[in-house]
Amino acid sequence: MKRHRHLSSSDSSDNESPSTSFSFCSKYRSKSKTPTNEQKKPAEVFRKDLISAMKLPDSHHINPDEYYLFADTWKQEWEKGVQVPASPETIPQPSLRIVAEKVKQVLYTRPRKYISCSNQESAEPGYINILELAESMCRYDLDDMDIFWLQEVNEELAEMVL
């Protein structure tokens, strides 16, 4: 079995001769030799000398008059509008859960003693009595956080009184 030497880019640039590189690996070849295995052509063939000719060392300075500036606008916007195919396994399946209905019972009503009005009856006709309005409108749903703060404030008020 023959061994093939793969030329690197530095080898091809040193020789300055057109070289061809085959992407082929003979390391894991099967031992049975059939005519079809020997006649297979490599998957890719490319010339390295053209790429090597375009490379310049970092220390090499080029005058701006010696080269052309060009812009590839596709590279700037290559991420925009990209559609990624989704496999059926990654599409989320719809699911539902039953949520308990809210209790329609009012947990807290503000006592009347906290609602006050200087004038019990309005001077102008057409206005509603503030106590009637407070009785019909002042409702507040008390939650755990409100209960905590209410207890804290009541404790502070009790300490102030003592």
Mean pLDDT over each residue of the chain, to the nearest integer:
68
Nearest to 30 by CA among 20, 40, 21: 40
Question: Mind listing the pLDDT tens digit for each residue in 6-46?
Answer: 554 444 444 444 444 444 444 444 455 555 555 666 666 66
What distances in angstroms separate CA 117 from CA 109, 113, 120, 146, 161, one per listed residue?
18, 11, 6, 26, 27
Average pLDDT over residues 84-103: 79
